[in-house]
Amino acid sequence: MKSTRTFLIFPILLLSCFVCLAQGPEVIIPVPSEVICHDGTYEFTGQPDVKVRRVKGMAPESYEMKVSEKGVTIKASDDAGEFYAFQTLKQMTGDGKVESIRCCEITDSPRFPYRGLHFDVSRHFRSIGFLKKQIDAMAGFKMNRMHIHLTDAAGWRMQIDAYPRLTEFGAWRPQRTWKEWWNGDRLYAEEGTPGAYGGYYTKEELRDLVEYARERHIEVIPEIEMPGHSEEVLAAYPELSCAGEPYRQGEMCIGKEATFRFIEDVLTEVMEVFPSEFIHIGGDEANKEHWKSCPECQQRMKDEGLKDVDELQSYMICRVSRFVESKGRRIIGWDEILDGGLAAGATVMSWRGTEGGIEAMKMGHDVIMTPGRYCYLDHAQDAPFKEPESIGGYLPLDSVYVYEPAEPSMPSEKLHHLLGIQGNLWAEYITEDAHAEYMYWPRAMAIAETGWSLPEDKDVADFRRRVLIALDRLEEDGYNVFDLSQEYGERKLAQTGLGHKAKGCKVVYDKPIQEWYQAAGETTFTDGIIGGWTYSDQRWQGFLSDIDVTIDLGEVTPVRYVGGTFMQLKGPGVFMPQKVDIYVSSDGESFTHVAEVWNDVSVNNEDLLFKSFDTICNVEARYVRYHARRSTMRGFLFLDEIIVN
């Protein structure tokens, strides 16, 4: 049975003065599945005439909209489809600021069922008002999952009645910024301590948030981190650690039954507040070393027949998964939950690239793609020298937008396990709400369009045009957004190829390339391509050792200049070399030392820096050896090109 209803949309907004001429579907984000434009416009005279019909048989969240000279007709599959139709109409009407809209027909349906955005409220606490404000923007761009990272070393953020010390003590710290706390003693403070920073949400506040989101067709997914990233838990309840003492470890003891009582009690209260299908349990970056010497963990491994600590963590994840499933829910974990064996029914959130997600799909598990290279919004979105503090790196709007979750290597018969995409914003360096908002918008729009629209309907230039319109609207609504119209862009040297004498020449490596930062492999240093603002752009090659390479120029030739550029970014542990030694040879056997170039950049400098380690010389040579000695800080070395002229 079909029903017809007439709605008065945006009654307050439409009382405002009309300031624009006719606008049509060319402004919509995400881009719809199908648009047919017609001659004519629908002129508003007071309230627009909108009729809605519910139609069975359409895909979930889908809608059809027809704008004629007489009014607007919407067909929707369900409540969500109807809601999204009105978000489309809201964009077309410019929030009630246009005097007419173009006649058209729109057929629209989401590509993926999961279109998410992540909020780290542990490192820096966010108000409920801030979260509601972001929900409003998310809903406008048809996003439907809010992932809240409620717990981590920096603070526990949810009231748990069974364990009050989590919020009385584990939610507070002496220092306001995460960076000061992390670089200090990493202590916690009692609630009410003068000057203490922190906070937590009561259950009523979270229930209110969940309902606010539900009304906008957004599901709030809580994350309770385990077994690692749990320093705040173990400070409040040290008996849950292997050591049994506070401030010793960051991982829960899997050998103790008390740990599982704690987890089940906490998750029971979490699930009473959050009705979400998914419960995120973390599972990432656990330091498993102390489990190897813990008698209780070792006894657990013996009793359960576990061969290593990876399987010990898997035991915990599987056990927690069974408990969550017994309550009618499902777990999500970061891709480390693959280590040691993946729990039946677990969904994997793939962040360390896409390999973990692809592996999980092949095993028959659902996957949400959120690879750091494309989806981590804590990286600078423009030239780092002009942007507010971030974790480093460079992830502009275009780089987020071009990511395609369905990679060619994914087996077609497993693609139904690809649930969607999520953008993540970790808040270590993002203290203020306004700064966080600036980092989300407009890049979250790119996540939204990738999650909703088909890849063949996407176009970078057209998307940027639509984003500029959307940003103006967000600013009018009081959002602090990145000014895309003033974008500086990529490092200028990285925008053109570079010719030099060593370009295309063979390079012999004496030290291994770090597996995550292979770039173009053994052609990287002589491919004529200069690196950009970030070490993860596949132009910079990374090493956890010295860099020691020899370039074969093919024949003896005059060599007047040898040099290479390194970067430094203290946050993620990228440092300049101590020094670079440069050698030349005519036969590849006997080498002459021609230069020793020392570093003069302090390892304490936290800015993104570039430095050329080079020399002017006057020699004849066929072979050039370039040896960069690793920093005393034992971090990464990143080099993009070795130039010989």
- Residue from 229, 280, 365, 417 carrying the catalytic annotation: 229
Query: Cα(286)–Cα(611) distance, rounded to whole angstroms?
Result: 35
| Interstrand relation of 278-282 and 330-334 (parallel, antiparallel or unpaired) | parallel
Phi, then psi, of 360 in degrees rounded to 5: -65, -40
DSSP character at residue 241: B
The closest of 625, 380, 604 to 487, measured between CA atoms, is: 380
Three-state secondary structure call for residue 95: coil
Residue 117: exposure state from Cβ atoms within 10 A (0-12, 13-18, ≥19)? buried
Q: Is 152 a catalytic residue?
A: yes
Q: What pLDDT score does 21 carry?
A: 52
- Does domain 4-108 sit in CATH 3.50.50.60? no
Q: Across the strands, what pairs with 547?
A: 628
**The pTM of the whole model exceeds 0.85:** yes
Q: How many CB atoms lie within 10 A of CB 161?
A: 9
Query: Cα(571)–Cα(554) distance, rounded to whole angstroms?
Result: 40
- Does domain 114-486 sit in CATH 3.20.20.80? yes
DSSP character at residue 245: S
Q: What is the pLDDT of residues 216-249, one digit of tens each?
A: 999 999 999 999 999 999 999 999 999 999 999 9
Identify whether the C-beta of residue 206 lies closer than 8 Å to the C-beta of residue 158: yes
Q: Across the strands, what pairs with 583?
A: 593, 625
Give the DSSP H/E element, type plus range, for residue 215: helix 203-215
The closest of 293, 312, 115 to 217, measured between CA atoms, is: 115
Place of tokens 């390892």: 603
Residues 6+ away with beta carbon under 8 Å from 234 = 240, 241, 246, 248, 249, 250, 252
Q: Is 285 a catalytic residue?
A: yes
Handedness of CA 548, 552, 558, 562 (dihedral sign): negative
Residues 6+ away with beta carbon under 8 Å from 481 = 437, 438, 441, 442, 471, 474, 475
Q: What pLDDT score does 67 carry?
A: 97
Identify whether the C-beta of residue 204 lies closer than 8 Å to the C-beta of residue 158: no
DSSP character at residue 603: T
- Residue from 79, 180, 211, 285 carrying the catalytic annotation: 285
**Could you list the mean pLDDT of each consecutive 10-residue stretch along the chain, which spans 645 residues?**
34 33 88 97 82 96 97 96 97 87 97 98 98 98 98 98 98 97 97 98 98 98 98 98 97 98 98 98 96 98 98 98 98 97 96 96 98 96 95 95 96 96 98 98 98 98 98 97 97 91 98 95 97 94 98 98 96 95 97 98 93 97 98 94 98
- Residue from 61, 64, 82, 152 carrying the catalytic annotation: 152
DSSP H helices in 403-508: 433-440, 443-452, 460-476
Query: Cα(352)–Cα(517) distance, rounded to whole angstroms?
Result: 12
What average pLDDT does the structure give for the chain?
Answer: 94
Q: Can you give 549-584 as a three-state secondary structure string?
A: EEEEEEEEEEEEEEEEEEEEECCCCECCCCEEEEEE
Please give the CATH number for the structural domain made up of 492-644: 2.60.120.260
Query: Cα(315)–Cα(304) distance, rounded to whole angstroms?
Result: 8
| Interstrand relation of 219-226 and 197-198 (parallel, antiparallel or unpaired) | unpaired
Query: Cα(498)–Cα(531) distance, rounded to whole angstroms?
Result: 11
Phi, then psi, of 198 in degrees rounded to 5: 155, -150
Query: Cα(620)–Cα(560) distance, rounded to whole angstroms?
Result: 9
Q: Taking the domains of the chain in order of start, what are their residue ranges? A: 4-108, 114-486, 492-644
The type of residue at 472 is D
Q: Is 43 a catalytic residue?
A: no
